[in-house]
Amino acid sequence: MRALVPVILCIALASCGASKQRATIAFTSSAFQNGQRIPTQYSCDGANQAPPLSWGDPPKGTKSFALVINDPDAPGGTFRHWGVYAIPASAHSIGQGQNTGAEVINDKGLIGYTGPCPPPGNGLHHYHFKLFALNVDRLRLPSRAKVIDVENAAAEHAIAQGELIGTYERR
């Protein structure tokens, strides 16, 4: 029995760092390709309208989706541009004026989408569009929820995730 103790401890320690593996979901935009520039019309320099976003079939067990957009390159730390949850599992797209799901307060203090608007001369910013396929119909969020609340709650219930990165720079 004593000979097994070191083996059991090694197995227990090895499993401590194990992370939950998620399936991936195809996530794209007809407005820009992954890693490419977000067109001006989807920024504060244009119409400030959410770009069209679409995704493939979700994995079995998906009951809803959540979406967040973050800019980790913002001068004051990550700026959260948009958070939406309770997107129906039957949906395959969002954005460009399409209202689906429940929007939350972004870091500008507004409900809904706020497009890329980095300070002029601040360099190239990367906007992370994250889509979560969830195992719940609706996230339990506080009233006056913020984008960070959506992202944290979605991470707890995600069975698949897709990510699309767009860039934007103001000179």
Beta-ladder partners of 131: 67, 162
Q: What is the pLDDT of residue 12?
A: 43
Query: Tell me: the pLDDT tens digits for 66-95?
Result: 999 999 999 999 999 999 999 999 999 999
% of the chain residues with pLDDT over 90: 84
Assess contact for 117 and 43: CB atoms under 8 A: yes
Whether the predicted pLDDT of 17 surpasses 90 = no
Q: Please, what is the average pLDDT of the chain? A: 90
Q: What is the pLDDT of residue 148?
A: 98
Query: Tell me: the pLDDT tens digits for 117-171?
Result: 999 999 999 999 999 999 999 999 999 999 999 999 999 999 999 999 999 999 8
Q: SS in 3 state form for the chain?
A: CCCHHHHHHHHHHHHHCCCCCCEECCEEECCCCCCCECCHHHCCCCCCCCCCEEECCCCCCCCEEEEEEEECCCCCCCEEEEEEEEEECCCCEEECCECCCEECECCCCCECCCCCCCCCCCCCEEEEEEEEEECCCCCCCCCCCEHHHHHHHHHHHEEEEEEEEEEECCC
pTM for the predicted model, two decimal places: 0.87
